[in-house]
Structure formats: structure tokens, C-alpha cells
Amino acid sequence: MHESLEKAVQSAVLKKNILDSSLLQYIVRASLAGVFIGLAIVLCFKIGDSFNVVQSPATTLMSGIFFGIALILIVYGGGELFTGNTMFFTISTLKKETQIRDLIKNWVFCFGGNAIGAVLFALVFSRTGIFDQLASNHLLFEVVNKKMYLPVDQLFVRAIFCNWLVCLAIWIPMRLKGDAAKLIAIILLVFTFFASGYEHSIANLSLFSLALSIAHPTSITLQGALYNILPVTLGNILGGGLFVGAVYYYLAKGETLAAKKQAEALASDVVEDHTKKETQPELTPELLLQK
């Protein structure tokens, strides 16, 4: 666990340095994450609606199983994801490798870059015509409409669970060896949040941007999108920052103390054994004759 914690700290420090050296480069990286999520959402809802129109019980499975592609593209494609950074910068700040101002600066610009990527992708994608003339009961509209009218407390709690899982989908692969194992872990953990109905702020930004950029039911509005995004963002911060970042910092700290005590105990045993050997009389021929 200590090794994974150090990787998280190193990653946060690198992200801080990139942002400090070039704001534009960092915004581009963050924008890529918004685009990657948009690409995955289009795939998921294209596949999912073909099952939804026939009321198939496999709709959730088929619409969610490929959403992990978004996080794979972000992790391996050099994107910067706000929700993942809630974990990274909580850990690095608790370790005093970054400051609170670094944390706030990163979260603000990363969220902004993710939003830019999500909106730009939606605007450009709307020109493809792929989602033209969607029925009002299309899976995309059904999901968006539901998200815009959930109670605030439900949005907040769902967002906590969502980023708890998303950050675990980043944390656990850091402890695995081999890309195959890492990819499987990412896909399964992201599918868990998607299929469970939890709320992800950046995915919602992309989803709402797509819905608003094409002909849509009147119940889907910009006001409804903003109503959703605020509590979901706060819940995501709590889920990633507290329940993953702070929790694993605390556990790793305890693990380090336990390892230190174990090392001290072993060292004490070695010294004790060495002392016994020094105090034990040497077996000479005279001593053997006396016995």
C-alpha cells in the first residue's frame, strides 16, 4: 500500500508541475478527458438503446460494460480527470508534498478543462447527424431527464459512491502487475458505478452537453443540468478525497508504523541473540573434562 501511496504522490506532483509550467498544456490534457468520456458515452447509448427499445433486461449491462473505455483512454491516453484528481491531491496534500492552494488550483482548472472538452465534443458531434431525429423515449433522453429531476440529497450520495468506485478504479490498478489485469479492473469497477446508477460530474457534463446540442424534449434544460452538476461535484469530491484519498493515506500510515515496530522487534531479537552468544562460555577441553 505504501508503494501505491508514493505513486499517487508522484503523480500529483507531476500534475502540479505541468499546470505550473503551462496552463494551456494542462487545459488540453483536461479537455482530452472530456472528449474521451464523450466518445464512450456515444458508444454506450448507441448500443444500449437498441436493447432499450425492445425492453431487454440486458439494457443496463450492454450500455454500461463499455464505459470503462473512457477511463482507459484517460489513464493511457494522457488525459486529466477532475474526479481522479480529488484522490491524488488529497493524498499529496496530506503528505505535505503539495499545498492546499495547489489542490484548489488543480481542481478548478481540471474541472474547467473537462467541461471544455465535453462541450466542444458535443458541439462537434452534433454535426455528425448520428443522433439526429432521436425519439423522445431514446435511452439518452430517458437517462438525462431522470438525472435532472432527482432530489439533491440523492444526487449527492450517489456522487459519493460514484467517485469512490472511480478512484478505486485508478487506485487498485496501481497495485497490479500487467496491463491486462489493470484493464480488467478498470472496466469492472467503472461498470459497477455505471450499472448501479451513481452520479459522475464529468460524465454528466458530457451527457448533458450531448443532449442539449441536439433536438431534445423540453424537459431537458440547461437549468436542469446545473441543478445536477453542483451537488454531484461536491459528492464526487467527498467520495474521492475522503473515502479513497484520506482513507488510504490513514491506512498506509498505520501500515508504515506497524512495519517499523516489526523491524525494531526483529532488530532487538538479533541483538539479544548476539548478546547471549557473547556471554556464553566457550567450550574448551578443560570445560569438557570438568563436565
Q: What is the CATH number of the domain that holds 95?
A: 1.20.1080.10
pLDDT band at residue 277 under the 50/70/90 scheme: low
Domain membership of residue 289 (yes or no) is no
Query: In angstroms, what CA-CA distances link 98 with 8, 101, 275?
Result: 12, 8, 46
* Unique residue bearing C-alpha cell 435511452: 139
**pLDDT of amino acid 150:** 98
Bigger pLDDT: 121 or 273?
A: 121
* Unique residue bearing C-alpha cell 452538476: 229
Mean of pLDDT values over 133-142: 95
Mean of pLDDT values over 180-193: 97
pLDDT in tens, 201-259: 999 999 999 999 999 999 999 999 999 999 999 999 999 999 999 999 999 988 877 77
Mean of pLDDT values over 163-169: 98
pLDDT band at residue 262 under the 50/70/90 scheme: confident
**276 has a pLDDT exceeding 80:** no
Q: Over the chain, what is the mean pLDDT?
A: 93
Mean of pLDDT values over 183-202: 97
Domain membership of residue 12 (yes or no) is yes
H-type helices in the chain, by residue range? Answer: 2-21, 23-52, 59-64, 68-77, 82-94, 100-125, 139-147, 152-171, 179-196, 201-212, 222-240, 247-279, 285-290
Greatest distance between any 2 Cα atoms in the chain:
107
Contact 87, 173 (CB under 8 A): no
Task: Provide the number of structural domains found in the chain.
Answer: 1
Mean of pLDDT values over 134-145: 96
**pLDDT of amino acid 290:** 60
Domain membership of residue 36 (yes or no) is yes
Which set of grid coordinates corresponds to residue 283?
Answer: 567450550
Domain membership of residue 53 (yes or no) is yes
pLDDT band at residue 96 under the 50/70/90 scheme: very high
pLDDT band at residue 283 under the 50/70/90 scheme: low
**pLDDT of amino acid 185:** 97
> Is pTM, for the whole model, over 0.85?
yes
**pLDDT of amino acid 286:** 62
Domain membership of residue 283 (yes or no) is no
| Domain coverage including residue 176 | 2-129+137-263
Domain membership of residue 7 (yes or no) is yes
**pLDDT of amino acid 263:** 72
